[in-house]
Chain A
């Protein structure tokens, strides 16, 4: 039988705590600890630290693993979803627009901003599956009344069913100088258009249609009866123009 030693290498105490000692050595350490209450207490604390770490963090092991972690993903789709990609294109367009700003007459710059904001709002909300709008078309009357009140103007949500687009609903958004409204429409195949409306239409009472391509999002925008409109979509310029014309006519019967 071995007699208790005066001290043990620190390394052995930790190996004891971690269960990494061979049987014989383990017994020696236990004999030593039995004769050294202070060391025994310290080792007891270390053992408890390990137990508590497991009590604290083992529940994480039971959490379901997200599917995206289970297979190698393509780099871009992992980080940059379609929304982010659309926004990146719009930002790039914005940078180019700024570089080419000399080509544009002064006052139209503001309108280009308006078109870009409309395109961004389109890119953010149109891919939404569960919450594309705040108020759905089922409460159309309430929706239009609410947005009119918040914008301080007489808004209408034109019906575009004859063109194949159904009203999904709408939402209120922050604009540069106050609230902005967005109506969303959807075609049978899921294609969505958004109509973005703000009230502060500066001094211009009316303008012609203008077109701006913001990344993959096309925007027709115009001013009518002191309201600024921007119709955004990814359906191609011709189709968008057809709808923009229809919107204009329905608002001016």
Chain B
């Protein structure tokens, strides 16, 4: 799909990634919108025959970085929006696990979260992820490895203290 319709075909995964990245419905929709706005504007700059998916995710990465910077400077980063936006209603026991995972994701650094989601959820190759994030493949691998381990530990701890209220 080398034409503009190609962009539309990538909207659902972009939206899924945005939702997972921000953990917030409204923030994710804004992120998608800003990304598409830029993508449409710069579509002429995309080189035909190159990876459109990676190009779009790279734009979203840049928009996301800007938003993170902006919200850090406002010092109002939401930390407890994790529970609010479970998009699904799976069976009861699984739902608890999923909620734990979602909560643990919010506690990861944005860098690790991006890598885990691009690879584990969006199934980008390591090379593609490196291109999207503008870092060497080695950096992607070390973020992936540390991120998965952080997530594992966070969820272990989460299940051990499931009944305790998490204090910032």
A interface residue numbers (CB < 8 A to B): 10-11, 14-15, 17-18, 20, 42, 45-46, 49-50, 52-63, 65, 69-70, 72-73, 75, 78
CB neighbours (8 Å) of B58 from chain A are none
B86 within 8 A of A: yes
Q: Are B32 and A60 in contact (CB under 8 A)?
A: no
CB contact between A52 and one of B101, B117, B144 (< 8 Å): that residue: B101
Q: Is A49 a contact of B12 with CB atoms below 8 Å?
A: no
Neighbour of B87 across the interface among A46, A56, A69, CB < 8 A: A56
Interface bracket on B: 35 or more
Contact of A14 (CB < 8 Å), options: B15, B102, B145, B152 = B145
What are 6 residue pairs bridging A and B, where the CB atoms are less than 8 Å apart in the complex? Answer: A10-B145, A55-B94, A56-B20, A60-B16, A70-B8, A73-B37
Q: In angstroms, how far is the closest chain A Cβ from the Cβ of B9?
A: 10
Q: Is B121 an interface residue (CB 8 A)?
A: yes
- For the residues of A in contact with B, the DSSP-based class is helix
Annotate B22-48 by CB proximity to A: 1 below 8 A, 0 otherwise. 000000000011001100110100000
Q: Contact check: which of B120, B125, B144 meets A53 at CB < 8 Å?
A: B120
Contact assessment for A57 and B32 in the assembled complex, using a CB-CB cutoff below 8 Å: no
Give the residue among A15, A46, A56 with the most B Cβ atoms within 10 A.
A56
CB distance from B166 to the nearest CB of A (A): 19
CB-contact partner of B16 in A55, A57, A69, under 8 A:
A57
Q: In the complex where A65-B8, A65-B11 touch, is A56 in contact with B101 (Cβ < 8 A)?
A: yes
